[in-house]
């Protein structure tokens, strides 16, 4: 094995007796060169084991074949499946995913955005619309296609689900089957417009029945099963005790349900539990979890498709707002309350 440095276009040009320009064209726009030269150049390239240098290509051409994604966390079944689908779609079209996460910290998100933009991503996908003015300014300045996922404001493309409606649906269902004392375990509301919207949806449903949603009915927690358990513990001290608990994320609802069962409360006869997300495990729990299905994977698919479209279109189309449907999935963790 020789320790020659990597072959470049120049090497191929020299070896093949063609100019570097022709070589470049042969490799990236084969239609522009004659079949036999094309063949000769390709042979040499193969023999030398040429691999294009995308840094140089990016610098010269202005695009990097790279799409940036900023998510709150990688460690979530929801964002994972979105990312998985984005990755699939992007890879299939020759794009790489540059992924950053920020743990729900606006400052970290700003830093991540800065990094991605300075890396010259061709497109950007972000979660939600709530971010400091400075972050939005950076995005504007970059002047590249951007898609907001989950939540999104006017002004940019977006692939969204109605989180408010998700909250509303699940609360409305519990009310409909007779619950009036409802507790809520939700994620940290600050800098998280999805969680805010879900809680607001719940509040709206309660208000329709003239019921308030007091602070004492809500427990704000990190988004883990363990946190769901402790949230449940807190809510169990409400007087009167809630007859149903909504977790604004399945993990919270699952944790809550487990905690209740551990304390000898039977679900759903003693207490109902419902979540939002419809994670994989929800269908398999005992009892299976009533929840609202959020098409996380589709968000990834649609976002990638939209971004790829923007990256190839000639005349900019109108702003897109793709709204994906959510559906209440009634399972066995909810039932009519004992008696009021």
Nearest approach in angstroms of CB 27 to DNA is 6
**Is residue 311 at the binding interface for a second copy, with CB under 8 A as the rule?**
no
Nearest approach in angstroms of CB 84 to a second copy is 4
CA-CA-CA-CA torsion for 53, 56, 59, 64, nearest 10 degrees? 0
Q: Are 160 and 321 in contact (CB under 8 A)?
A: yes
Phi-psi region at 90: left, alpha or beta (left = phi > 0; alpha = psi -120 to 50): alpha
Nearest approach in angstroms of CB 239 to a second copy is 27
Q: Which residue's structure tokens are 């609802």?
A: 253
* Burial (0-12, 13-18, 19+ Cβ within 10 Å), 268: buried
Q: Which does 107 bind (CB under 5 to 8 A by kind): a second copy, DNA, none?
A: none
> Given the rule CB under 8 A, which of 32-40, 72-80, 203-211, 235-243 is the region that contacts a second copy?
72-80
**Is residue 57 at the binding interface for DNA, with CB under 7 A as the rule?**
yes
Q: Which does 204 bind (CB under 5 to 8 A by kind): DNA, a second copy, none?
A: none
Phi-psi region at 129: left, alpha or beta (left = phi > 0; alpha = psi -120 to 50): alpha
| Residue selected from 13, 98, 244, 276 as contacting a second copy according to rule CB under 8 A | 98
Q: Which residue's structure tokens are 């990256």?
A: 311
**Is residue 134 at the binding interface for a second copy, with CB under 8 A as the rule?**
no
Nearest approach in angstroms of CB 100 to DNA is 21
Report the sign of the C-alpha dihedral through residues 169, 174, 176, 182, in that order.
negative
**Is residue 286 at the binding interface for a second copy, with CB under 8 A as the rule?**
yes
Q: Which is nearer to DNA, 60 or 141 (CB)?
A: 60
Q: Which is nearer to DNA, 28 or 75 (CB)?
A: 28
Q: In the numeric block, which tokens belong to residue 210? A: 């003239």
**Is residue 241 at the binding interface for a second copy, with CB under 8 A as the rule?**
no
| Residue selected from 1, 2, 3, 60 as contacting DNA according to rule CB under 7 A | 60
- Beta-carbon contacts of 133 under 8 Å, excluding residues fewer than 6 positions away, are none
Q: Which residue's structure tokens are 């976002």?
A: 303
Q: Are 121 and 64 in contact (CB under 8 A)?
A: yes
Site for DNA in 209-238 (CB under 7 A): none
**Is residue 254 at the binding interface for DNA, with CB under 7 A as the rule?**
no
Whole-angstrom distance, CA of residue 77 vs CA of residue 18: 52
- Beta-carbon contacts of 315 under 8 Å, excluding residues fewer than 6 positions away, are none
**Is residue 112 at the binding interface for a second copy, with CB under 8 A as the rule?**
yes
Whole-angstrom distance, CA of residue 245 vs CA of residue 185: 7
- Beta-carbon contacts of 15 under 8 Å, excluding residues fewer than 6 positions away, are 44, 47, 48
Q: Which is nearer to a second copy, 260 or 306 (CB)?
A: 260
| Residue selected from 96, 200, 230, 233 as contacting a second copy according to rule CB under 8 A | 96
**Is residue 37 at the binding interface for DNA, with CB under 7 A as the rule?**
yes
Q: Which residues contact DNA (rule: CB under 7 A)? A: 5-6, 8-10, 17-22, 24-25, 27-28, 32-34, 37, 50, 52-53, 56-57, 59-62
Q: Which residues contact a second copy (rule: CB under 8 A)? A: 6, 49, 51-56, 58-59, 64, 66, 73-77, 80-81, 83-84, 87-88, 91, 94, 96-101, 103, 108, 111-112, 114-120, 141, 224-226, 229, 254-255, 258, 261, 280-281, 284-286
């Amino acid at each position: 094995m020789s320790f020659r440095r990597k072959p470049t276009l120049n090497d191929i040009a020299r070896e093949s007796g063609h100019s570097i320009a022709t070589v470049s064209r042969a490799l990236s726009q084969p239609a522009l060169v004659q079949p036999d030269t094309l063949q000769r150049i390709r042979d040499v390239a193969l023999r030398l084991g040429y691999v294009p240098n995308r840094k140089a290509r990016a610098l010269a051409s202005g695009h990097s074949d790279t799409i940036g994604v900023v998510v709150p966390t990688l460690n979530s079944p929801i964002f994972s499946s979105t990312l998985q689908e984005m990755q699939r779609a992007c890879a299939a079209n020759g794009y790489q995913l540059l992924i950053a996460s920020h743990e729900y910290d606006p400052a970290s998100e700003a830093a991540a955005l800065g990094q991605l933009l300075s890396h010259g991503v061709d497109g950007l996908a972000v979660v939600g619309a709530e971010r400091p003015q400075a972050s939005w300014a950076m995005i504007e300045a970059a002047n590249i296609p951007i898609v907001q996922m989950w939540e999104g404001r006017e002004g940019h493309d977006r692939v969204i689900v109605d989180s408010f409606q998700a909250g509303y649906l699940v609360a409305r269902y519990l009310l409909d089957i007779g619950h009036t004392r409802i507790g809520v375990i939700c994620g940290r509301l600050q800098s998280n417009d999805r969680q805010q919207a879900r809680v607001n949806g719940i509040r709206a449903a309660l208000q329709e029945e003239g019921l308030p949603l007091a602070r004492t009915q809500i427990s704000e927690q990190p988004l883990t099963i363990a946190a769901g358990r402790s949230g449940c513990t807190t809510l169990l001290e409400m007087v009167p005790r809630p007859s149903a608990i909504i977790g604004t994320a399945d993990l919270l609802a699952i944790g809550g349900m487990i905690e209740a069962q551990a304390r000898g409360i039977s679900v759903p006869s003693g207490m109902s539990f419902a979540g939002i997300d419809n994670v994989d495990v929800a269908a398999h729990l005992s009892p299976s979890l009533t929840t609202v299905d959020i098409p996380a994977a589709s968000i990834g698919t649609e976002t990638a498709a939209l971004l790829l479209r923007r990256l190839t279109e000639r005349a900019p189309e109108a702003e897109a707002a793709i709204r994906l449907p959510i559906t209440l999935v009634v399972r066995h963790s909810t039932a009519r309350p004992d008696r009021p």
